[in-house]
Structure 1
């Protein structure tokens, strides 16, 4: 009985273990295997790529070799290598351009031409805008410059004939500097009125002196006598300030204000604005003054 028990028990040395299945790979091994597969697939070239490479290689290979039977036959018929009328022929065959899109023949050339034209127009537009801006800035500074020169000329006219002008009607004064007097008298009149209102506000007993009333009445009387718009002055003010001789005026046919002022000073007072002095007479002015315009000096 003991023998049967011993036979029923398996010997642990000969014990068979059940199969646990394949081992699961780690993440690193999976990643490495995947990269290797991608590398192998990248080595497999696409058929179109292979055909293109063969075509390029074939075009680069010359068939005009001594071992070629066709070449031997052509030489027997008198063929010689090289370009027509040249000692040195082409070193490579004419390249071929394969069309892969569905556009018509010449479409790419038209698109390229239109693109070049658009780029050229945009470049011209930017240059024009830049030049226009620079021109505007230049004209702005020129205008300020000539306005200052015109004011200085009118101030000189007042210094040279101010006493004489006070005894004359306003519209009898030359129009080239009449506007200067109008602006000055207008400013004086407004100042006088403000002073009168201020003085009356401060004290009723204090009023404007007789001289002030006399000046105010004279100004008002002069204004009443010359009632109505001064068309001659308005026409003069509508002219451009720019000096036409300097090339900055847009309307060179019109007589410019600064030109007329310079000429008036020379003709009436033998005075040159650019020289800054009055000459003895017209002959002295013509002999010693370089000219009427700034660039002459």
Structure 2
């Protein structure tokens, strides 16, 4: 007998019999086992189908049945009538007593009873946290009532302030550079040049620190500072910050520069 031929008494040959139909199996025990396993699989399949069908109950049809008033021959209606209930009236003596039954909804999913409420609560919390984050970013306190339009105005105002401070910083750098080239050693106004960093005291002596000077009062708003800076650059150096151009003379500046403000450009 060659190695390629299968022995009909080998384990491999007998194992293949499990995949054939029960009627072809001669061993009664094996045949019975196959029949039981087949029936169990069919039973499980029918149970899954029945569970799926039960979960797909038509809620609309159920609610329509519940909305129908109880007939006079209904046992429940008769019991309530004996206690003074009349059709169409509320249950109880309170003026706001319930007149309609509590609606029900068939639960078709397999999730826990509290999962839907937990997911809804989680969604609300995330929305509140997102809103609080946006309000905080816009500089609005969380307890402050504000409409969508007011929030947009506040956010726009914040963006304009950032742009304004950026323009002031650039103008200060330009003004300092042009002044130094012209031999000017001190700015005409303190805010015409970038603020100088405070010098660190490198001495190790235990001298008492000098009293700090009180901060100088801001005489001009940021928009006024920018207006004064751009005006000084135009007059002193025929330089337009908005154009980014150093013109040859006053006539060239007046002829080719669109105007004094950003909006003119």
Normalised TM-score (structure 1):
0.36
Larger RCO: 1 or 2 (CA < 8 Å, sep 6+): 1
User: Relative to total residues, which structure has the larger helix share, 1 or 2?
Assistant: 1
Normalised TM-score (structure 2):
0.40
- The higher radius of gyration belongs to 1
